[in-house]
Structure 1
């Protein structure tokens, strides 16, 4: 799968043929088709693998944060820094979603861990209530759109001040507001 991952990250999922990937990986036709009946299945497996690695890194970063603010800001930094370090793989993840059982399982585990991290920070009043779609959009949505722009070549480097702009915005959107009397 590493050959497919490298080729898909460099060329997209359409350009390399299944036979090219098979030959480069030096596996038999039967062996490849035993695991992946077509290129779509191979692409879905690569997508799930990359997403799981991204999610593992995100959660590791999140667990290391001392405060809710550090976690929210760190999530944005982690996301944009990962995109900058993994441009080709980021293009795959930012493109068409490729569903699979592996991806569904990885997502279930990831979002359960996010809920577990979020809950105490909300309970003691640091974060707004977790509303999955809304929270994800506020936390990473603007950074995600910037990442799409960045990987398309819209700008040169992933500038630190830009990363901090999105980290600031996410924290402002997700921090709990004191109750006014």
Structure 2
């Protein structure tokens, strides 16, 4: 039994940490709830208090991972003053994140596991992307932002490539992959030939 001083929040955090690690290595279907519970050193009651079934645990892991991905993506965007830098940086961030978190990326690239936490995170994320995008659209470097279309054009090709890469055996991305997808994203999303022409 875990020490009584550990709080319910600690138990939830430990369950998420273990599940995230196990799911990344073995897949969400491999580890049982009881295996996760024992490794996290929490009671049966604590497990079912937080996660009544494996789907609820996997959904929480998915939301946590996507929130962390989005936080890093926004931090990267804020480092870029130019539209081109941000568009290319977004592709580079995505592919480097997938490379650094291959097992976890497999979870995010699979079926979307919807939750209230995920919806809140997405609302905040897309609002922040709009805030970054707006001035670049105003001075003419980028066209209007349509989240579904823009996301597909910006990260869609890199995302589809990522699915193939994580399922394969290559240890590293092919040489030039980041530049190839970054060039393609910028070519399709820019509204003008160069930002210098509109500034």
User: TM-score, with normalisation over the residues of structure 2?
Assistant: 0.87
Instruction: Tell me the residue number matched to 1:136.
Output: 151
Q: Which runs of 5+ in 1 are unaligned?
A: none
**Alignment match of 1:46 (pick from 42, 46, 61):** 61
- List, as ranges, runs of 4+ consecutive aligned residues in structure 1 with deviation greater than 6 Å: none
Instruction: Tell me the residue number matched to 2:180.
Output: 165
**Alignment match of 2:136 (pick from 101, 116, 121):** 121
* C-alpha contact (below 8 Å) 1:150/1:156 kept by paired residues: no
**Alignment match of 1:31 (pick from 39, 46, 68):** 46
1:104-129 per-residue CA deviation (whole Å, 9 max, x = no partner) reads 11000000000111011001000011
Query: SS of 1:21's equivalent?
Result: helix
The within-5 A match list for 1:89-108 is: 89-108=104-123
Post-superposition shift, 1:177?
A: 3.3
Q: Which runs of 5+ in 2 are unaligned?
A: 1-15, 194-199
* In structure 2, distance between residues paired with 1:130 and 1:147: 24
Structure 1 residue 146 corresponds to structure 2 residue 170: no
* In structure 2, distance between residues paired with 1:155 and 1:119: 38
* In structure 2, distance between residues paired with 1:132 and 1:125: 18
* In structure 1, distance between residues paired with 2:132 and 2:116: 24
* In structure 1, distance between residues paired with 2:169 and 2:159: 14
* C-alpha contact (below 8 Å) 1:68/1:126 kept by paired residues: yes
* In structure 2, distance between residues paired with 1:50 and 1:112: 19
* In structure 2, distance between residues paired with 1:156 and 1:20: 29
* In structure 2, distance between residues paired with 1:76 and 1:62: 11
Structure 1 residue 76 corresponds to structure 2 residue 96: no
Instruction: Give the alignment's Cα RMSD to 1 decimal.
Output: 1.1
* In structure 2, distance between residues paired with 1:126 and 1:160: 29
User: TM-score, with normalisation over the residues of structure 1?
Assistant: 0.96
Aligned length: 178
